[in-house]
Amino acid sequence: MLLICVACGDEFKEVTPEGPITTPSIHDEIFEKIAPLLKDTTGFDRETMGGTGNALSYVKDGKLWIGLFSDQNFTALEKEWLSSFYVPEGTKRIILSTYTPETDITQTSNGYTCFIIFHNSKEPANYTALASYCLNLLDDGTIRILYQFDDIDNIFHIDCTAYGNNYFLLSFDTYRTESSGGNEKYLLSDGEIIATNVTVTYEGNSYFFTGWQNDKLRVDVYDESTKETNNWISETAFDKTLSVHQGYGEYITHKIDSVRLSNVLSLDWGYVGSLTYRTDKGIVNKDLLILNNQGDIILKELENNSYISYRGWYNNSFLIQDSNIWTVISPDGEEILNVEDDYFYSINHLEPISYDELIKIKDSYSNEWTISRYNLRNQTTRWETKLDVLSANMESDAKLSATIHKNGNIWQYQCDILYYDGSTRQVSFTINIETGELL
């Protein structure tokens, strides 16, 4: 009992207060601090407050309210959001972004993302998760559900990354059991899962997302510079059983978990990229994938793609070099030319004239540079001309790049030389590709 002594002359009286004295809770203190910043203070359930740092969340009129403040002292309210959906019945406590302690909400190109858990009790020892969502907080003040977690108690290390306004890559880990567990990756768009077991690769200015849509292979592309998107879906189910040759006629069967697209070549009609399979027995580098502007996904089977190279070729085709095997492929995946040429090496620059004929620049061991017109199909040289201008300026460890200005049969080469010490030099020459005559 609290006794209050009041001085009345020489007498002292003991006064017992009527009712208990209450101390304001932290919820009340924080809400009273932010109340002057709010447009509307009605309907807030102060006891459901969640969040740390400079973000707070409450239940307001049965819905979810989230506010972003200028600092952790809640000096100014920068943004606020109110959901159109109602929180789960019985919600007593909200946890905002529990699994990403660095920040409560993450800024994206169209707003923010965050994670919300609704609990049925304010006491940590007694609560049970009623529901948990990955949310997109949009610039217009609305909240979009990107993903609802089924078993939040079995999930950790959640991350959600936005790519433009259309794509979100959701990643989280689950505790392993005998039949499941590990890392999960989903590609989300407009609040829907469009691909599972997703991998992402950045090539040039574009992100390439590869995953499964049901049992089909799906590839989505987001161009960071133009903000344009595109996607391809295989017409039929992708065979997730992979037979890999081990040599001497022995094959091992792998079960494919995910696919990664890498070393992507961008062409006027689409893309070509190497595939890396993640399987139950490890990593397998095998095959090429063609994505053309007809919406086709074409698989070009190769035993091993680790040491191949490919480049754009004549009339929208592309050329694959696999050791000493040279193959020209059309955008539809048709094989136009396939030859074995042991002497088609040491080429520093090549430019096609047709599917099987090209102009090539190469050097010899004695640093003698030449340009020639070569037929890949017949493996014959029509003409060959010495390039004294390169022999005099190139060094063994220098790099050569060339730009060609074409005027019919007259080609002008502008050659840029980069030396090992970082210095540069530019030389040029003009040649008639019909006769091989330098002009």
Q: Is the pLDDT of residue 95 over 60?
A: yes
Q: At 326, list the tokens.
A: 């040279």
Determine if the pTM surpasses 0.95.
no
Q: How far apart are CA 170 and CA 159, in angstroms?
A: 6
Domain-embedded: residue 438: yes
Domain-embedded: residue 365: yes
CA 261 to chain centre: 11
Give the residue, 336 or 103, on which the prediction is more confident: 336
Whether residues 79 and 169 share a domain: the answer is yes
Lowest mean pLDDT among 84-88, 174-178, 340-344, 394-398: 174-178
Task: Report the b/e string of 251-287 with b at 16+ CB within 10 A.
Answer: eeebebebbbbbbbbbbebbbbbbbbbbbeeeebbbb
Q: How far apart are CA 132 and CA 186, in angstroms?
A: 16
For residues 78-101, give the mean pLDDT: 84
Share of the chain above pLDDT 70, in %: 89
Q: For residue 17, what pLDDT is reported?
A: 54
Q: At 203, list the tokens.
A: 């090539």
For residues 302-308, give the mean pLDDT: 76
- Residue closest to 296 by CA, chosen among 335, 336, 258, 332: 332
Whether residues 251 and 346 share a domain: the answer is no
Q: For residue 4, what pLDDT is reported?
A: 44
Q: Is the pLDDT of residue 173 over 70?
A: yes
Q: Is the pLDDT of residue 3 over 50?
A: no
Lowest mean pLDDT among 21-30, 183-192, 346-355: 21-30
Q: For residue 27, what pLDDT is reported?
A: 85
Mean pLDDT for the chain overall: 86
Domain end position, chosen among 135, 168, 190 = 190
What's the maximum distance between 2 C-alpha atoms anywhere in the chain? 127
Whether residues 136 and 253 share a domain: the answer is no
Asked whether the beta carbons of 372 and 358 are under 8 A apart, the reply is no
Q: For residue 302, what pLDDT is reported?
A: 82
Q: What is the pLDDT of residues 114-142, one digit of tens each?
A: 888 899 887 766 778 889 998 999 989 99
Q: How far apart are CA 116 and CA 425, in angstroms?
A: 59
Q: Is the pLDDT of residue 24 over 80?
A: no
3-state secondary structure 165-218: CCEEEEEEEECCCCCCCEEEEEEEECCEEEEEEEEEEEECCEEEEEEEECCEEE
CB-count exposure of residue 5 (10 Å: 0-12, 13-18, 19+) = exposed
Give, in order, the Cα–Cα distances in Å from 194 to each of 132, 166, 208: 20, 11, 14
**Domain count within the chain:** 3
Whether residues 34 and 173 share a domain: the answer is yes
Q: For residue 343, what pLDDT is reported?
A: 61
Give the residue, 107 or 295, on which the prediction is more confident: 295
Q: Is the pLDDT of residue 15 over 60?
A: no
Whether residues 275 and 379 share a domain: the answer is no
Domain-embedded: residue 90: yes
Whether residues 112 and 258 share a domain: the answer is no
Give one DSSP letter per residue of 360-405, joined into a string.
EEEE-TT--EEEEEEETTTTEEEEEEE-HHHHTT--TT-EEEEEEE
Domain end position, chosen among 190, 222, 244 = 190
Domain-embedded: residue 4: no
Domain end position, chosen among 144, 172, 190 = 190
Q: How far apart are CA 195 and CA 288, in angstroms?
A: 20
Lowest mean pLDDT among 58-62, 64-68, 180-184, 432-436: 180-184
Q: What is the pLDDT of residues 375-399, one digit of tens each?
A: 989 889 999 999 999 999 988 888 8
Torsion sign (Cα): 180, 185, 189, 190:
positive
Whether residues 170 and 232 share a domain: the answer is no
Domain-embedded: residue 208: yes
Domain-embedded: residue 335: no
Domain-embedded: residue 319: no
Q: For residue 111, what pLDDT is reported?
A: 84
Q: pLDDT confidence of 22, banded at 50, 70, 90? A: low
Q: For residue 53, what pLDDT is reported?
A: 79
Whether residues 137 and 252 share a domain: the answer is no
Q: What is the pLDDT of residues 306-362, one digit of tens each?
A: 778 889 999 999 999 887 888 999 999 999 998 887 665 556 788 999 999 999 998
Q: For residue 13, what pLDDT is reported?
A: 52
Whether residues 220 and 142 share a domain: the answer is no
Range of the domain at 433: 342-439
Q: How far apart are CA 140 and CA 56, in angstroms?
A: 18
Q: At 196, list the tokens.
A: 């599972």
Domain-embedded: residue 306: no
CB-count exposure of residue 377 (10 Å: 0-12, 13-18, 19+) = middle
Whether residues 43 and 166 share a domain: the answer is yes
Q: How far apart are CA 18 and CA 229, in angstroms?
A: 69
Most confident among 209-213, 245-249, 343-347 (mean pLDDT): 209-213
Asked whether the beta carbons of 252 and 246 are under 8 A apart, the reply is yes
Whether residues 184 and 203 share a domain: the answer is no
Whether residues 100 and 199 share a domain: the answer is no
